[in-house]
């Protein structure tokens, strides 16, 4: 009896359920098809009406940066790679180094580097000032980073403060007279004499090689102006007192040298006199 009832209930359920299930399935299929159609339509419409989708991943370069990219693709890709991401064992990535670094490296002729060397040397620049700006603009638009401000970089400078800041921050490597000096493992801090205002500013912002970065938090733009003015107006225009000097190592060094040379001369003189008699 119970089994009979069960069978009947099962049959009823199947009779009721089957068509219901079938129509639900059909409805689902229809919905899916409509969804796909809608998506295709929306996608198509998007591609038609938004031609910039491709460009959004690589934002378009300004014309100056595009000129810079053209120069870069000829002179720099071999070492710094396509899109400046760097080449293992040849040159570092330039993403995020900023216009300041390019400005410094290219305007001082360090880049393009001729060959692998311990330290890129200052050379007569390969590019004109406009081309340097274009290269810098390209790297800036690729990855951002510090930029040298426009305008007078010595405005309102105070020479005394500049001298103090120079002695605290720069003289341990570049020497008190700015003549430069040796660092460890064959590297050296160069003389500051050939550097322009812009190059000094860019060097502080980018910290080439072993030089630390002096960001605007450590040395404010006003203090940078003080330092630049001190280097350009005091160090470079220091009146030479005449006579021999030892590359401005300072009065003590020069006095010591004269003392030693004099002493040796006296010893030889007395030996010579003793030999004669």
Nearest alpha-carbon partner for 202 in 247, 165, 149: 149
Site for ligand HEC contains 223 (CB under 6 A): no
Indicate the residue among 12 and 121 with the shorter CB distance to ligand HEC: 121
Nearest distance, CB of residue 40 and ligand HEC, angstroms: 46
CA atoms within 13 A on the CB side of 162: 22
Q: Are 194 and 122 in contact (CB under 8 A)?
A: yes
Q: Is 245 in the site for ligand HEC (CB under 6 A)?
A: no
Asked whether position 99 contacts ligand HEC by CB under 6 A, the answer is no
CA–CA gap between residue 206 and residue 226 (Å, rounded): 18
Between residues 125 and 254, which has the closer beta carbon with respect to ligand HEC? Answer: 125
By CB under 6 A, residue 92 contacts ligand HEC: yes
- CA separation (Å) from 177 to 163, 164, 173, 228? 11, 13, 11, 14
Binding mask 3-42 for ligand HEC (x = CB under 6 A): ----------------------------------------
Alpha-carbon distance 133 to 138, whole Å? 9
Cα–Cα distance for residue pair 103/195, rounded to 1 Å: 12
209 binds ligand HEC (CB under 6 A): yes
- Binding residues for ligand HEC, rule: CB under 6 A, are 75-76, 78-80, 90-92, 94, 97, 101-102, 105-106, 108, 110-113, 119-120, 122, 135, 169-170, 172-174, 183, 187, 189-190, 192, 194-195, 199-200, 203-204, 206, 208-212, 214, 227
């Amino acid at each position: 009896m119970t089994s009979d009832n069960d069978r009947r209930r099962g049959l009823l359920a199947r009779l009721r359920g089957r068509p219901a299930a079938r129509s639900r399935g059909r409805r689902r299929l229809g919905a899916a098809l409509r969804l796909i159609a809608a998506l295709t339509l929306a996608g198509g419409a998007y591609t038609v009406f938004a031609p910039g989708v491709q460009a959004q991943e690589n934002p378009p370069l300004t014309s100056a940066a595009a000129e810079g990219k053209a120069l870069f693709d000829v002179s720099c890709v071999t070492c710094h790679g396509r899109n400046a991401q760097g080449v293992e064992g040849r040159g570092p990535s330039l993403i995020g180094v900023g216009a300041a670094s390019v400005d410094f490296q290219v305007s001082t002729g360090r880049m393009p580097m001729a060959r692998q060397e311990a330290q890129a040397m200052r050379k007569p620049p390969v590019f004109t000032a406009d081309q340097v700006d274009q290269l810098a603009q390209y790297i800036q638009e690729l990855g951002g980073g510090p930029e040298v401000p426009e305008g007078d970089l010595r405005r309102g400078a105070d020479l005394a403060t500049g001298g103090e800041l120079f002695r605290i921050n720069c003289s341990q490597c570049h020497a008190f007279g700015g003549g430069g000096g040796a660092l460890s493992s064959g590297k050296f801090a160069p003389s500051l004499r050939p550097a322009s205002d812009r190059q000094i500013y860019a060097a502080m912002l980018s910290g080439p090689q072993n030089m630390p970065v002096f960001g605007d938090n450590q040395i404010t733009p006003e203090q940078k102006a003080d330092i630049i003015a001190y280097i350009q107006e005091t160090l470079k225009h220091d009146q030479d007192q005449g006579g021999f000097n030892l590359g401005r190592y300072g009065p003590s060094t020069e006095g010591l040298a004269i003392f030693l040379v004099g002493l040796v001369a006296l010893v030889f003189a007395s030996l010579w006199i003793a030999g004669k008699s």
